[in-house]
Amino acid sequence: MQEVTPQSYTLVITGAPYASQAPQTALEFARAARASGHRIKRVFLYGDGVQLASALTAPPSDESHWPRVWAEFLTSEGIPGIVCIASALRRGLVDENERKRHELTASNLRPPFIIAGLGEWVEAQRGDSRVLYFHGAR
Amino acid sequence: MSRTLIIVDTPPYGSWGGREALDMVFSLAAFDQEVSLLFLDAGVHWLRKGQAPEDIRQKSAERNLLAAPVFGVEALLADDGACQTYGLSEDRLLDGVTRVTADAALLAGFDHIAFAS
């Protein structure tokens, strides 16, 4: 394989699993990038993309389980998976802290995803990593 | 400092995508990053004067956008061709909007360009 200069990437996923191809395309990109020696600095879920971090997704057994597959990839590669708090709360995705704060009956954030603010995305924008967006269908 | 352009090409109120694009813009501005908004295609409807979304129980996009300069957003840009397509003459546009031709020369002025959804 040709020598490449390692790049650092931030992936922003705004398309939901099972409604769009976005999480799947992003995962294929991330795997290819890692295989070529590039770095994935972080994955940021925004808008409908936050559905990827649900611990309650239960697709039919003959379909890919995108939240689980993504979570396993993030864990094995040690990549931070960050879920935008405003997008998450609107769509019913909460961790234990948010469950308590909003007095909800349950939490459903799948590890290793964590909830944080848009500041994490801003950090990526101003940093040296290339930011790639994976959008859903309109 | 790097300059960011966030592009909105969907009309307001039909989805939350544009609203979440605005959140991204305001976040960049809050962290003192140079950021502008470009409205393309049906996205130019965001810039229409006299929006009345109360009946559909949504927050006014117009009010949000009028606050943009206060929050440090550099510019609200509207694609001139799209404005013509949708009959948005100068007097129908929000104050403070700059009409531009959304071409390669315009985009070349930015370091980061993203569609928010």
Q: At B75, give phi and psi (nearest 5°).
A: -155, 145
ipTM for the predicted complex: 0.90
Q: Is any Cβ of chain B less than 8 angstroms from the Cβ of A14?
A: yes
Residues 15-54 of B with CB under 8 A from A: 16-17, 20, 23-24, 27-28, 31, 33
CATH of the domain at B44: 3.40.1260.10
d(CA B98, CA A64): 46
* Number of structural domains in chain B: 1
Query: Options 3.30.750.24, 3.20.10.10, 3.40.1260.10, 2.130.10.10; which CATH number does A8-134 get?
Result: 3.40.1260.10
Q: Which residue has the tokens 């909003």?
A: A102
Express each pLDDT in A44-101 by its tens digit: 999 999 999 999 999 999 999 999 999 999 999 999 999 999 999 999 999 999 999 9
d(CA B108, CA B104): 6
**Cα separations (Å) of A113 from A80, A83, A129, B9, B10?**
7, 7, 20, 30, 29
d(CA A14, CA A32): 20
Pick the residue from chain B with its C-alpha nearest to A133.
B114
Residues of B in contact with A118 (CB under 8 A): 23-24, 27
Express each pLDDT in B8-46 by its tens digit: 999 999 888 889 999 999 999 999 999 999 999 999 999
Q: Is it the case that residue A39 has pLDDT exceeding 80?
A: yes
The residues facing A9 across adjacent strands are A40, A130
Q: Is any Cβ of chain A less than 8 angstroms from the Cβ of B4?
A: yes
Pick the residue from chain B with its C-alpha nearest to A117.
B27
**Domain housing B38:** 3-115
C-alpha neighbours within 13 Å on the C-beta side of residue A123:
10
CB atoms within 10 A of CB B7: 20
Residues of B in contact with A46 (CB under 8 A): 20, 24
Q: At A58, give phi and psi (nearest 5°).
A: -140, 75
> Among the options A30, A43, A84, A124, which is catalytic?
A84
pLDDT at A2: 64
**What is the distance, to the nearest Å, from the Cα of residue A52 to the centroid of all Cα atoms in its chain?**
6
